[in-house]
Structure 1
Amino acid sequence: MTRHTFAPLLTLGIIGLLLGSAPVLALKGDASAPIEVEADRLDLDERAGTAVYTGDVDIRQGSMRLTGARVEIQRNDQGQLARASATGERAYIEQKPAPDEPLVKGWGRTIVYHVAERRIEMIDRAELHKGDNTFVGGYLEYFLDRRVVQARAEAEGVEERQRVRMTLDPEQQGAQ
């Protein structure tokens, strides 16, 4: 496995990707932690503002992690991260929102993070774990700032209907 470092694009990308601007949504040390990327290949197009990592991609920064067979990071015209997508049989994203909270973990065949909206989409065999609460379906959306989950049985472009299932811990409901 080859280790690639592309600091300018990746620094903007990963810090915006999972941390965002609200300090309650991630550990304070995550933003200053080293960014580590492992992949078999990197295809970078600075003019288009894209970096595409392929081959068992693993991106980490502090408590944050994004994995997939392929991860694409797209910048906008101002050079800021606009979107990050991970695809694979089980793409994965995780983040520890605060020292006293458990990791938030998400899976799907596709995971898309929309930076401006601070929204994560998990598509096809989607699954989200927030503490002891679990959400499963064909399509899940998680809004970071509002901590809102929306689930659907069907996802665009996915033929198989995947019914929504939830397991909620009644003791945590008052804290959510």
Structure 2
Amino acid sequence: MWYRLASLCLCLSPLLANALPNDRDQPISIAANSASFNEKTGIATYTGNIEVQQGSLLIKADEIIATVDKQGTIISVVAKGKPARFQQQPATDKGIASAEAEEVNYQARDGLVQLKGNAKLQQDNSSFKSQQISYSLDKGEIEAKGDSKNRVQLVFPPPKKEDRKTKKLGEPPTSTGTQP
């Protein structure tokens, strides 16, 4: 049974596909107060002060429930906590991306991460806050949902001083190279 838990640990590695190139080649370390796996249902449960680490990836949660198919391929991972947290450095030229929510739901087959309940996502002085944030690993798309009481909040850093342009009134705007 321990080898099934160990192989399940290996399935947790793709939580952020654009991680440092060698993160997925690093060993996975999981520490928890307890762990169980049911071979018939394919469900593994880790509880109590959980830390999962692989390279720059770090997940901290109170509970993790992972589901695998009959071949041992990960279907989903749900991390819960007050809050559950994860962080990872997506590239050597980027800062650490960190997120937290009451629930972090990773759907491996769809390549989607959903942060539910007091969700926060930040990297390089930009941040999203909302009740629910969805992120597509394959497309790099982020969607945040709010309501009239809990509106989506976005914060973007100002342009660097050296990138700012001084224009005279009436001059056309500087092209950013992207089209809407």
Q: TM-score, normalised by structure 2?
A: 0.81
Question: CA–CA distance in 2 between the matches of 1:64 and 1:139?
Answer: 22
- CA 1:171/1:76 → structure 2, altered by over 3 Å: closer, same or farther? farther
Question: CA–CA distance in 1 between the matches of 2:51 and 2:106?
Answer: 16
Cα distance, 1:135 vs structure 2: 0.2
Cα distance, 1:161 vs structure 2: 4.4
Contact 1:60 1:66 in 2 (8 A): yes
Cα distance, 1:153 vs structure 2: 1.2
Question: CA–CA distance in 1 between the matches of 2:149 and 2:113?
Answer: 20
Aligned counterpart in structure 2 of residue 162 of structure 1, from 150, 154, 167: 150
Matches within 5 A, 1:93-172: 93-154=86-147, 161-171=149-159
Matches within 5 A, 1:63-82: 63-82=56-75
Cα distance, 1:19 vs structure 2: 4.6
Comparing 49-58 with 72-81, greater Cα deviation is found at 72-81
Please list every run of at least 4 consecutive aligned residues from structure 1 whose deviation after the TM superposition is greater than 6 angstroms: none
Cα distance, 1:78 vs structure 2: 3.0
Q: What is the percent sequence identity of the aligned residues?
A: 25
- Corresponding letter in the other structure for 2:76: R
Contact 1:125 1:162 in 2 (8 A): no
Cα distance, 1:46 vs structure 2: 1.7
Question: CA–CA distance in 1 between the matches of 2:123 and 2:112?
Answer: 15
Q: Tell me the alpha carbon deviations over residues 61-120 of structure 1, each in whole angstroms, 9 at most, x when there is no partner.
A: 001112211011111233210100101111011221111111111110000011111111
Tell me the C-alpha RMSD between the 2 structures.
Answer: 2.1
Cα distance, 1:32 vs structure 2: 1.7
Residue 7 in structure 1 maps to residue 9 in structure 2: no
Contact 1:91 1:108 in 2 (8 A): yes
Matches within 5 A, 1:51-90: 51-90=44-83
Question: CA–CA distance in 2 between the matches of 1:71 and 1:53?
Answer: 5
- CA 1:61/1:83 → structure 2, altered by over 3 Å: closer, same or farther? same
Contact 1:68 1:88 in 2 (8 A): yes
Question: CA–CA distance in 1 between the matches of 2:46 and 2:128?
Answer: 28
Question: CA–CA distance in 2 between the matches of 1:89 and 1:161?
Answer: 21
Contact 1:125 1:136 in 2 (8 A): yes
Q: Which runs of 5+ in 1 are unaligned?
A: 155-159
Contact 2:5 2:37 in 1 (8 A): no
Contact 1:19 1:31 in 2 (8 A): no
Contact 1:109 1:124 in 2 (8 A): yes
- Higher Rg of the two aligned structures: 2
